[in-house]
Amino acid sequence: MNLDFSPEDLAFRDEVRAFIADNYPPELAGKAEEGREIGREDFLKWHRILAERGGWSAPGWPVDYGGAGFTPVQRYLFGEEMARADTIPVLPFGINMVGPVIYTFGTPEQKARWLPPTLNGEIFWCQGYSEPGAGSDLASLKCKAVRDGEDYVVNGQKTWTTLAQHADWIFCLVRTDPDAKAQEGISFLLIDMRTPGITVRPIITLGGEHEVNEVWFEDVRVPVANRIHEENKGWTCAKFLLAHERTGIAGVARSKRGVEKLKRIADTEVSLGAPLSSDPIFVRKMAELEIDLLALEYTELRTLARESSGEGPGPESSLLKIKGTEIQQRITELAMEAVGPYAQANFRSLGGDNQPPVGPDYAARVGPTYFNMRKTSIYGGSNEIQRNIIAKLVLGL
């Protein structure tokens, strides 16, 4: 694989870097790193700015649907520059998850209705997959939808629904045939969050943040026209979506940014009279982490090359998900080790108010970030499930 970028690629990188420098809202700069709350309009503001720049909010969408249509290398460089500038990321729920499902499986009417506002940041999406008894074993979900004329009547519960408190719409897996085999009786519905009968209840994380929620459905009426693909064929959509989600979860560019921050901490934090960067044990851990991250980066580039040839993400998306999330967690573990007791002291209160940092500024978000990143090996299909997928599809076991 040729790892040299062409002059055209380097010119594109410079274009992206200049655009971010000129257009990223200054009021958003450093907001995530400093632990300040990021609200609905914060996410959508940057999304809309990118959308106005020729569909840059959707780097991987085809131009026919309003996306940027970037090549795999351009997508890679675009992600690198977004991470380099430490921008608020474009949320994946609309762009990377439900959008590709709609333009792959939706009708012309559904594409016309939902793709433009998703691209332009007019719809804030959330994901209705996990349930209290259906997480890694997603096919055991029980949230049901019963056909009643031209509507479905939905009853049940979803949990760990990220940012549902801000969402306009939710894409849901629901059971439409309780007598069919688990994976054969599921449908994929798009539901307006303003529909009567929907209740969103917050789940406060260990870091004191309101990021995830419970979502309850009580006799919620959803038009049949909001079903994507055929009835009872939603599992096809679900697998397609999860493959795209897992590829994005790898987070190579953001992890590279995390390693840079960790190096700065190691150069500053003093242990036993000298900076951690002079501790051979800590340096070895950092070196092992960087080697694994480099290997993951090459694997991601191979996956993008596969997609450029017209193939969707394959079983390698499971590998990206496993290694990507493990590396993300290792970065936070080393940060915890580096700042020591300062990590425990810096937590947002359960009321959501920011507290003055204890100790150096770089320690302010280490503890909450460590606990928040424990989830990465679970969502998008737990890493144990991904190993089973690799065993079956790659090793033939």
Residues noted as catalytic: 245
Q: Which residue has the tokens 């506002």?
A: 117
* β partners of residue 210: 204
Half-sphere exposure of 4 (CA within 13 A, CB side): 2
What CA–CA distance (Å, rounded) separates 89 from 251?
11
Cα-Cα-Cα-Cα dihedral of 374, 379, 380, 385, to 10°? Answer: 80
Q: Which residue has the tokens 């950092």?
A: 286
CB 168, CB 213: distance < 8 Å: no
What CA–CA distance (Å, rounded) separates 380 from 382?
6
